[in-house]
Structure 1
Amino acid sequence: MQILEQHQVPASPKPPPAAEGIGLRGQFNLLRWFSLGSFLIIAGVALALGYISTRFVVQESIERDSMLTAQFVQAIGAAEIRHASINPNRTIGEMLDPREDNAYPDVSAQARASSRGEFLDHVEHLPDLLLATVYAQDRTVVWSTNPELIGVRIEDDEELDESFEMKEPVSTSYHEIDEERPEQRLLREPEYLFIENYIPMFNADKSKVIAMVEIYKEPVDLVARIQRGFKTTWFATLLGGAAIYFGLFWIVWRAAKLLESQQKQLINNETFVALGEMSSAVAHSLRNPLANIRSSAELAQEVASHGAQKNIGDIINQVDRMSRWVRELLVSLRPMNEDQETVDLVLAIDDTLCAFEALIKRCGVEVRFTPMACTPVVSQQVLLTQILNSLFANALEAMPKGGVLSIEIESQHPGHLRMTLSDTGKGMSRQQQQMVFKPFFTTKQGGLGVGLALVKRIMERFDGSVELASQEQEGTRVSLNFKVATGEDHGAQHSTGRG
């Protein structure tokens, strides 16, 4: 159906200052800034949490392994003392320094050597061992799996000194061998992570550390578990961060769309408010003069000569056009009633065709419409009549030299009904189609530009929609998608009469 005639486009009304301010403030792109800001924040938090979590996993795993190693070595020492039938008041720590063999006369040399040999043999065969070393109190190496270290005195070793002074096991993890530390002469190159354990060995009353066992080990199984923990932690961190980011992005995207829609609606409302008082006053002021002009013209037409009757008829037609213009203006400015009715669409179309019968004949337009039984739709009788009057009037104006007006009704997906109105008029350009639903946009000489804007507003008010397709010189088609009345809607006011 042709809605716009091909005339010069009048300038659209300038939005009020409030609307202009809204437009300027609307330049801030909430979605873009949120996307960037939230990505940086969430990525930073996720990386920090991932790093802290992985460090915690490594630290806890190493400390746990070191504690078990220390307990195991100390347990071996206690077992060897019992196995060699040595005085239980003695400890394996007192047996480890060969230079002190004569310091304990209550322990035989054979028992001392036997317990020491068995203990060191167990230490040497610990799983994942890289290097094992025993230090005397003066930090001299008295035994090592690397013979080159035996007899070497280690100085300035903070971890070794700390373990002697604090009387507690000390553990440190490394990824590379420190060439400057002479005690790190490992028997083989570690592949990934290796751990250094200092295990204090006490005297009988545990008041003094008299020997220190240093063990370098590469816990292959522990390293494998740590690596799996790394992967799991980083994967969970990435997945969680992505879930939070996209969840928040979706919420803000919806909010941005809602704000954009509300902003457009606010601008439209501002425009209507700005023009409301003036337009309403003008419209009400014009109604009575137009009625008087039409009445006078009708009286004059009865007594006028044949030549003058055509001119008087033109006056009446133009008055009717102005009256329709005033009526559309008043309807567009009036707040919409929230009540909905069930309306018989076919009867409403028949009423509109009857109202436009004379104009249809005068324009030489062929109407193609086959009435059919259909489910009532949700709307209001008065507003639906306004929609049909606006669409029919513009369709006929698009075909002043005749054409075909087609009306079709078809069921859409469940709960919806579509009415399609097609004409063979001049059609519209693509640019005009993009602007056609904007309030106060028109290409008709003297047009108001509220017709289709009002149609769209009414249809959306009742959960419907309007679609338009047009081709220049081929015509226009407008589709009205109605919500079908349900049982609850039938319980509301039912309106099917002719208006």
Structure 2
Amino acid sequence: MDLAPRSDSHDLASTERAHKPFDLLRWYAWVSLAIILSVAMGLGLISSRFVIDESVERDALLTAQFITAIADAEVRHVAIPNVRTMGELLDPRLDEAMPEVDPEARRKARGEFLDHIAHLPDMLLANIYAPDRTVIWSSNPALIGNLIHVDEDLDRAFEYKMRVSASYHNFEQARSEQKFVTPPEQLFIENYIPLFDADGERVTAMVEIYKEPHDLIVRIEHGLMLIWLAIVVGAGLVYIGLYGIMRRAARALAVQQKRLVNSETFVALGEMSSAVAHSLRNPLASIRSSAELAQAFDEGPAQKNINDIIGQVDRMSQWVRQLLQSLRPLNDSAVPVDLAKVLHESLQAFAVPLARSGVQLDVQPLPVVQVLGHPELLGQIFASLIGNALESMEQGGRLKVEVVRQDRRMLVLRMSDTGRGMNEQQQRMAFRPFFSTKQGGLGVGLVLVKRIMERFGGAVRLSSREGGGTRVSLSFRIARADIF
């Protein structure tokens, strides 16, 4: 089996992929989208975590302050001397070790304090631990007397004598202290609150509170929704804004690149055309002179051939002039030009050919306005368009000139003929160099029109229908007196 054709096809496809132009806008769209989404997700997660942590920390602080205040208040209420604190009164195993404390007052203070703990709002479970990690009281009686062997948060609270808080979404069945009477529905908070001795140096009891603060959860959810909504809207606006700027920049870059390519093309063609024209002019002039000389001395049958030679030489000379004219650099500065005057002079120059071809002129009144351009170059524009219209109406017709739109900045002049028109393919190729629908045409007229119009900040548009004529719209910038 011969695999050479397949290999060639593969090499061709690889070459096409290798030379595929870099699509800046598409790459920017995907890369910027990925970056913006990554940054937005990061900010959203950080903000969400911050809101949750701060809310939980604030709730834990208020709970700790409330429990500490209740403990101090109950001790003072039963008139127990300051040498004892609520943390020292909570362990019933130490009742006999404090003979100086009235047992009734001890039981009353402890009972009031535990009653407050048991009726805390949104509470799921409350445990109180002795320093040996034994549960000395719990809102779930089944836990009283249990010894907790492994609880990192409890150990940290005892070791560092500090309040410890954390939030969870799921409780762990393996943790013996998390035996909720009422299971949590969503987020719940675990707080460890140390109670100290009278000197404030030794932790005598640790209060563990499990809460599910419904109002706080609603506020957290509302805050998270606002955060993510703001991030989504902000990221979308940033992406749309940057994409719009990049799209505009890409278009401007493409236009500049196209102009640069066209400019380089015209420079190269101009240099080549100048060399060719210089090489052709002398031989053409010599051929024409020789033909004229032969015409003067020979009156025989060769006269017709001599006339053809002179006509073809003149035609080639005209092509050379048109080529050099279309490819020469347009360095003329923009000046205010009386549009109506230039148009009138151009129509006057074609008055005889138009009348001879039976073309009827329909020139609508033009406003008295000056446009940016150059008289000679604008004259070339009208000459080229009128010449094209004349050649498309060999059997007569109508040439209409009118202003279709005018504002403070632009004026749009339209020239319409009733000639043979162009098909869609011819319209797409109309402004390309060296494309012509005329027999023997050079194809530089409309190219020169486009270059001149763009040189002075204007534009040209062409619309045509085969057999239905052609319309050319010229957009001129209006000259303002304050610019000059």
- For normalisation by structure 2, the TM-score amounts to 0.88
Report 1:83-482 matches (<5 A): 83-286=77-280, 321-369=315-363, 372=366, 374-482=368-476
- Three-state SS of the structure 1 residue aligned to 2:97 is coil
When structure 1 is superposed on structure 2, of 401-410 and 286-295 the one drifting more is 286-295
Separation in structure 2 between the aligned mates of residue 481 and residue 303 of structure 1, nearest angstrom: 55
1:28 pairs with 2:1? no
- Three-state SS of the structure 2 residue aligned to 1:55 is helix
AA paired with 2:162? E
Contact 2:366 2:402 in 1 (8 A): no
Separation in structure 2 between the aligned mates of residue 55 and residue 271 of structure 1, nearest angstrom: 60
Compared with structure 1, are the counterparts of its residues 306 and 229 closer, same or farther at alpha carbon in structure 2 (3 Å cutoff)? farther
> Structure 1 residue 186: deviation in Å?
1.4
Separation in structure 2 between the aligned mates of residue 252 and residue 155 of structure 1, nearest angstrom: 62
1:468-499 Cα deviation digits (max 9, x unpaired): 1111122211121222222235x4xxxxxxxx
> Structure 1 residue 337: deviation in Å?
2.6
Separation in structure 2 between the aligned mates of residue 291 and residue 403 of structure 1, nearest angstrom: 38
Separation in structure 2 between the aligned mates of residue 319 and residue 403 of structure 1, nearest angstrom: 32
Compared with structure 1, are the counterparts of its residues 250 and 370 closer, same or farther at alpha carbon in structure 2 (3 Å cutoff)? closer
Compared with structure 1, are the counterparts of its residues 425 and 196 closer, same or farther at alpha carbon in structure 2 (3 Å cutoff)? same
> Structure 1 residue 96: deviation in Å?
0.2
Compared with structure 1, are the counterparts of its residues 409 and 99 closer, same or farther at alpha carbon in structure 2 (3 Å cutoff)? closer
AA paired with 2:155? D
> Structure 1 residue 341: deviation in Å?
2.0
1:378-413 Cα deviation digits (max 9, x unpaired): 211010011111112222222333333222234423
Compared with structure 1, are the counterparts of its residues 390 and 24 closer, same or farther at alpha carbon in structure 2 (3 Å cutoff)? farther
- Three-state SS of the structure 1 residue aligned to 2:407 is coil
Contact 1:42 1:241 in 2 (8 A): yes
> Structure 1 residue 439: deviation in Å?
2.6
1:102-147 Cα deviation digits (max 9, x unpaired): 2222211112111111111111121111111111222222211111
> Structure 1 residue 57: deviation in Å?
1.1
Compared with structure 1, are the counterparts of its residues 159 and 244 closer, same or farther at alpha carbon in structure 2 (3 Å cutoff)? same
Contact 1:440 1:449 in 2 (8 A): yes
- Three-state SS of the structure 1 residue aligned to 2:27 is helix
AA paired with 1:56? F
Contact 2:373 2:456 in 1 (8 A): yes
Unaligned residue ranges in structure 2 (runs of 5+): 1-16
AA paired with 2:325? V
| Matched length | 469
Separation in structure 1 between the aligned mates of residue 370 and residue 197 of structure 2, nearest angstrom: 101
Aligned to 1:13: none
> Structure 1 residue 289: deviation in Å?
6.2
When structure 1 is superposed on structure 2, of 184-193 and 362-371 the one drifting more is 362-371
Separation in structure 1 between the aligned mates of residue 360 and residue 189 of structure 2, nearest angstrom: 96
Contact 2:164 2:192 in 1 (8 A): yes
Over aligned residue pairs, what C-alpha RMSD do you find? 2.9
AA paired with 1:246? I
When structure 1 is superposed on structure 2, of 283-292 and 412-421 the one drifting more is 283-292
Separation in structure 2 between the aligned mates of residue 233 and residue 350 of structure 1, nearest angstrom: 68
Separation in structure 2 between the aligned mates of residue 104 and residue 243 of structure 1, nearest angstrom: 70
Separation in structure 2 between the aligned mates of residue 385 and residue 262 of structure 1, nearest angstrom: 27
Contact 1:141 1:153 in 2 (8 A): yes
> Structure 1 residue 424: deviation in Å?
2.3
Separation in structure 2 between the aligned mates of residue 413 and residue 95 of structure 1, nearest angstrom: 93
Compared with structure 1, are the counterparts of its residues 24 and 261 closer, same or farther at alpha carbon in structure 2 (3 Å cutoff)? farther
Separation in structure 1 between the aligned mates of residue 367 and residue 197 of structure 2, nearest angstrom: 106
1:355-381 Cα deviation digits (max 9, x unpaired): 223433443433333555532222110
- For normalisation by structure 1, the TM-score amounts to 0.86
Separation in structure 1 between the aligned mates of residue 99 and residue 248 of structure 2, nearest angstrom: 87
Contact 1:280 1:333 in 2 (8 A): no
Unaligned residue ranges in structure 1 (runs of 5+): 1-22, 492-499
- Three-state SS of the structure 1 residue aligned to 2:190 is strand
Separation in structure 1 between the aligned mates of residue 356 and residue 293 of structure 2, nearest angstrom: 22
- Three-state SS of the structure 2 residue aligned to 1:453 is helix
> Structure 1 residue 338: deviation in Å?
4.5
Compared with structure 1, are the counterparts of its residues 318 and 357 closer, same or farther at alpha carbon in structure 2 (3 Å cutoff)? farther
> Structure 1 residue 321: deviation in Å?
4.4
> Structure 1 residue 165: deviation in Å?
1.3
1:439-482 Cα deviation digits (max 9, x unpaired): 33333344332211211111122222111111112221112122
Separation in structure 2 between the aligned mates of residue 24 and residue 133 of structure 1, nearest angstrom: 71
Separation in structure 1 between the aligned mates of residue 357 and residue 289 of structure 2, nearest angstrom: 24
AA paired with 2:167? S
> Structure 1 residue 30: deviation in Å?
0.9
When structure 1 is superposed on structure 2, of 338-347 and 181-190 the one drifting more is 338-347
- Three-state SS of the structure 1 residue aligned to 2:390 is helix
> Structure 1 residue 94: deviation in Å?
0.5
- Three-state SS of the structure 2 residue aligned to 1:101 is helix
- % of aligned pairs identical? 56
Aligned to 2:39: 45
- Three-state SS of the structure 2 residue aligned to 1:214 is strand
